[in-house]
């Protein structure tokens, strides 16, 4: 039995949720999201709570049960509060700036990297070394943050590059004489 899947999801105040067949739709102050639940899983909405259960006891149905519940929790949280990821840039001359809706990164290459902001995502640069990616879709926020980090990930000798806020880089020892 899935410990996560057993718990019903309560719909937070200020959010309206509806279940239409296998589609769960949530509307809140930040926007609207929907999630199509796999056919192996049953979804019911009663009295402000969404219950998720497998259609049968097959391994496939049980493996999708907890994931479906977590996806529903993510869309409910996203339309109410939203999600954000913070990135830090470390290195001499490494910096970020907004150029209209695009993110311009100086990461030690011969040219600046320009990252186009996808629809539904907001990128802000507080300081030249701090980037905040925010939006209502948790998967999309994480994907955008990972794509920005991928341009110049942190290297293990000096720790230069783009890293998540609070990420610990395992440092290696350099050459010895």
Residue ranges, CATH 3.90.930.12, the chain: 3-80, 83-164
Residues 151-162: tens digit of each pLDDT: 999 999 998 999
Q: Spell out the SS3 assignment of 46-88.
A: ECCEEEEEECCCCHHHHHHHHHHHHHHHHHHHHHHCCEEEEEE
Given a cut of 70, whether residue 139 has pLDDT beyond it is yes
pLDDT of 2: 65
d(C-alpha 177, C-alpha 165), whole Å: 34
Q: Between helices 138-151 and 59-80, what is the axis angle to 10°?
A: 90
Do 77 and 83 touch, CB atoms closer than 8 A? yes
Beta-carbon count within 10 A of 13 CB: 8
Dig out the tokens for 99 from the structure: 């150029």
Flag the least confident range among 59-63, 122-126, 169-173. Answer: 59-63
Do 120 and 136 touch, CB atoms closer than 8 A? yes
Topology classification of domain 83-164: Outer Surface Protein A; domain 3 (3.90.930)
Q: Find the mean pLDDT for residues 94-117.
A: 93
Dig out the tokens for 158 from the structure: 């000096």
pTM: 0.87
Q: 3-80 in CATH: which number?
A: 3.90.930.12
- Banded pLDDT at 1 (limits 50, 70, 90): low
d(C-alpha 60, C-alpha 39), whole Å: 11
Burial class (CB in 10 A: 0-12, 13-18, 19+), 58: exposed
The two most distant CA atoms of the chain are separated, in Å, by: 71
If phi > 0 it is left, if psi is from -120 to 50 it is alpha, else beta; for residue 101 that is: alpha
């Amino acid at each position: 039995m899935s410990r996560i899947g057993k718990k019903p999801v309560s719909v937070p105040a200020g959010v309206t949720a509806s279940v239409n067949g296998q589609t769960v739709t949530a509307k809140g102050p930040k926007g609207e999201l929907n999630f199509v639940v796999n056919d192996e899983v049953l979804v019911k909405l009663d009295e402000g709570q969404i219950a998720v259960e497998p259609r049968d006891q097959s391994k496939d149905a049980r493996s999708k049960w907890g994931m479906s519940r977590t996806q529903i929790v993510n869309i409910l949280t996203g339309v109410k509060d939203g999600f954000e990821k913070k990135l830090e840039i470390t290195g001499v001359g490494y910096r970020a700036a907004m150029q209209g809706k695009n993110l311009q990164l100086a990461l030690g290459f011969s040219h600046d990297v320009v990252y186009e902001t996808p629809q539904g995502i907001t990128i802000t640069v507080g300081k030249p070394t701090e980037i905040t990616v925010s939006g209502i879709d948790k998967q999309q926020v994480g994907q955008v943050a990972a794509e920005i980090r991928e341009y110049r990930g942190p290297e293990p000798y000096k720790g230069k590059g783009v890293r998540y806020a609070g990420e610990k880089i395992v440092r290696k020892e350099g050459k010895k004489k």
